[in-house]
Amino acid sequence: MILNKKPKVLFSTEEISQRVKELGEEISKDYEDIVIISLLRGSFIFAADLVREIDIPVNIDFMTTSSYGHDEVSSGVVEIITDIRTDIKDKDVLILDDIIDSGNTMKKVVEFVQMKDPKRIKICCMLDKPSRRQADINPDYVGFTIPDVFIVGYGLNYGDYYRNIPYIFTFDD
């Protein structure tokens, strides 16, 4: 699905890189070691970049959820498609996502992960869109806070495309 719309860059590759470095430094100061759970597919690029900026022992695992399908707006129904394999009992856990929008996906994931009895759960997202929040979820680490616009790139998709774009953009009509 390639659109005939002009991209409007919101965050350049350089801005993203700098912010991810800062997040890595902040997380490294807050923990001795950590289990990171990256929510696929959107956060895989952010996760790969972030873990390389963290200077403490990191165990990384992945969880697959779905609520968007090919739409621009969440369906509101959150499914856990693939669970983690790591035992997180009594461990510090950081859940990573590309974006927190309504918060419904993250709320469901936090509740699901909490049942595995970790010591502590915190949340990190590349993008936070608080104006659309429906669930009582507030990330502990945020790359950028954005207004209510549909964004693409740096792991975020439109249909099956654009995840590979190294910057974050929206479309000008």
Q: What is the pLDDT of residues 12-30, one digit of tens each?
A: 999 999 999 999 999 999 9
The whole-angstrom distance between residue 67's C-alpha and the CA centroid of its chain comes to 14
Tell me the chain's radius of gyration from C-alpha atoms: 15
Q: Provide the pLDDT for residue 3.
A: 59
13-68+78-165, CATH topology level: Rossmann fold (3.40.50)
Burial class from Cβ neighbours inside 10 Å (0-12, 13-18, 19+) for residue 113 reads: buried
Q: Alpha helices, DSSP H only, in the chain?
A: 13-30, 44-51, 104-114
Please check whether residue 104 is in contact with residue 134, taking contact to mean a CB–CB distance below 8 angstroms.
yes
Q: Provide the pLDDT for residue 68.
A: 54
5 Rama sector, left if φ>0, alpha if ψ -120 to 50, beta otherwise: beta
Domain ranges of the chain: 13-68+78-165
Two structure tokens written together for 49: 């970049």
Two structure tokens written together for 61: 């695992």
DSSP secondary-structure letter at 173? -
51 Rama sector, left if φ>0, alpha if ψ -120 to 50, beta otherwise: alpha
What's the mean per-residue pLDDT of the chain? Answer: 91
pLDDT at 158 over 90: no
Q: Provide the pLDDT for residue 173.
A: 61
In the block, tokens 């104006």 appear at 131
Could you tell me how many helices (H) and strands (E) the chain has, helices first? 3, 8
The whole-angstrom distance between residue 29's C-alpha and the CA centroid of its chain comes to 20
Q: Alpha helices, DSSP H only, in 52-157?
A: 104-114
Please confirm, yes or no, whether 160 is among the known catalytic residues: no
pTM of the prediction? 0.89
Amino acid (1-letter code) at residue 120: R
Quote the percentage of the chain above a pLDDT of 70: 91
pLDDT digits (tens, 9 = 90+) for 87-114: 999 999 999 999 999 999 999 999 999 9
| Closest alpha carbon to 72 in 155, 172, 168, 157 | 157
Catalytic member of 49, 92, 98, 101: 101
pLDDT digits (tens, 9 = 90+) for 48-100: 999 999 999 999 999 998 775 544 455 567 888 999 999 999 999 999 999 99
pLDDT at 127 over 60: yes
Q: Provide the pLDDT for residue 70.
A: 47
